[in-house]
Structure 1
Amino acid sequence: MLHVPGVTDCSPAEVGYDASRIATLHTHFQNLIDQNKIQAASYCVSRYGKTFMHGALGPLSFREDKTDPLLPTTIHKIASITKAVASVAVAKLVEDGIFRFDTPVGEILEQFKAEPLNKIDIYSLLTHTSGLYPDCAPDYIPYHKSYWQLIGEYFARVNLEDGPPDWITAALSNGVSKKVGEEWQYCSFGFCLLGEIIKKVTGVTAEQYIAEQILQPLGMQDTMWEPTPELAQRFIIRNEMYEQRLNDLISGKTADSGLSQQEKLWHTVSSTGGGLASTPGDLIRFANMLLGMGTLGDTRIIGRKTVEKLTTRTLYGVPDYCWGGYNSDRSYGIGLDMRRGPGFLYSSTTYMHEGAGACSMVIDPTEQLAAVWFVPFTGDNWYAEGLYNVTNIIWSGLM
């Protein structure tokens, strides 16, 4: 077993945790690696704000002839866990009185003033109940064009001499699939729109706002939108395309180097739906800020009542049919998942967010336990045992 331990603050026993369960977690991860379901795994778990489990297993690179180990400090894309960070950014603006959760999007973005888009508010974007088409829509709607396809087609034909590009209008030509509040439909495009809302009301990009107002104050130095050449050397190597991109960054090429106009235009779309990268040890700082009711150490990000609002179940009786599922009552907070059911051992107060590819952040206020782990799936696969089963192994160690 190729295991590299990370830095911890205390022993498992000091926070009431059965240390033998760590070996069980390692065995589980190694089995998934041996089954070629994941390339590697890394994790960081804390209780009462103290890290007692931290490490990595498996290879850094997808290439079989490479023997460098994955490290606890290796950087991964966190995909949709970015949405949890973006939700806190939106909440900060609510605290500052810039808008409310129930503010219609049309009061900020001109494109949403028309029917039926004028019914969509910030709350419905955060809870995936806006009625906008879900990420999984192309799987079951004939001739459907995703928001990303429509934006790409627009960027291919836009004439910049006519003024700033309006990708929002281009995407919204799709219309909506449901009424507001009718159904939970996971929509990453909705979080890109939240990024545009942040940009519109602050005068800076959402990426800059989040970096200055959340990441930097929390000391999350290994969390970023675009890596520097130095940080690019610490990224996991998932495939040939990403390996080449990392090598380009390490050699000094910028993210825009050699890109066509169309490719550069994509950088005008907010990355708040899934653009951040981080490490388990860095992301646990964000998790512990939420466990600290908006504060980490002496650093306040948001207030206690705001955290209570984000992490209290807000949806009841709203169905979810995404990715072929059938859930007649989707449990959800504001920007944070509150998935329930017989398959999980965590407390009923628990909230979380998953990221494609895959990674997970799970926070249990009752037990004051926070866990972050990365399990890069092989290919485009998805395995519940890399996410849900891991949750149960970690929570089983509480004494």
Structure 2
Amino acid sequence: MLITNATLADGRTVDVRIEGERIGAVKPQLPGEPDVDATGKLLMPGAIDAHVHFREPGFPHKETWETGSQSAAAGGVTTVVDQPNTDPPTVDGASFDAKAELARESYVDYGINGGVTEGWDPDELFSRPVFALGEVFLADSTGEMGIGTELFERAVERAAHEDTVVTVHAEDATRFDRRALEAAGDGIGREGDADAWSAFRSAAAETAAVELACEVGARSDAAIHIAHTSTPEGIDAAVRAGATCEVCPHHLFLSRDDLEELGTLGRMNPPLRSEERREAVFERVRDGTVDIVATDHAPHTREEKEAGIREAPSGVPGVETMVPLLLAAAERGEFARERVRDLVATNPARVFCLPRKGKIEEGMDADLALYDPDRIEAIHGESLHSKADWTPFEGHEGVFPELTLVRGTVVYDHGKEGENGEFGRPAGRNVRR
């Protein structure tokens, strides 16, 4: 394939030749007839979403590898990293193998994280192509203590021995404000007291857990990555300790001010924070303090989410809207295009050691997404491809890809309709194979 006259994030206009699965050349005016004339279009390296929950095995009514990876491709994401809290959890060889078999349906490349719970089997896990350890919970989704410091220390020591990153869900449940949740009303959906969840899972709980995780990591010289940091204090604690960190689009573009409209659709862990904290997080993402943006794509059905604040499951879908939201912000002048590229592609490849991904250069995997920056459109849940038919970003602006390639294979073509609609064929493989 030859793509001509493409604009890169740094402003250069180039032709890109694809040879097999790799990028063969990136130069102006390459010889040959173009397959894609990208005049006026933005060509980005395929995004790497380092934090998704595709729900299989165990919860296929929420999402499957097929639907989740199609949603990723339709959002310009060409690599995903799936977390282990499925059923069964990915904590040993058999559970890893079962998930790997399901992942053969993926349209995009993927990594499979190994989990850490009582009864995990690190010998079996590390005999498989595990992407990383995590998301390791220092507080689980019900608000109780996670795996405990002793098991966390053992897991970190083993990860350091294996030269593997540990991704940490950092909340200290001992600092949760249970009185805030007890005082919440009994309404459901938009009538519920959704803000009580934000008051319950306090900002101080995040900072304390980040500091603990980094302290344990430093003793073992392990690579610690803090998932979904939601506060400026948590980000700063990670940076001081030399850990890497991610921010999710919902903590970047939404705050507690949106909960009156979202209701229990806006319940997530960590929760939405104040508008003041959101603005401070946004600035740290913009100025280069934060390493990556990842989604924590955690779909539930609308019926499941429209419950009381105590019963509604935590999590929101997001893999399809991450890059579109950031590119729309770039077109508004809130980010440089190069910063978007680094947040979703170049930096995740560096943090998680994916040397052939994240850049548009000769010899790299031909993971590419082509966008028309002038085609800014409103986001609507019913138009997305996840099994969740809703989005917390309803009505927000996005720039969606016209074409997505995974290692040279077209997996999504916005303008094409065939037997599989806009999608090609499953082209994903384990990046750690």
The alignment's TM-score, normalised by the length of structure 2, stands at: 0.27
Instruction: Pick 1 or 2: higher relative contact order, CA cutoff 8 A, min separation 6.
Output: 1
The alignment's TM-score, normalised by the length of structure 1, stands at: 0.29
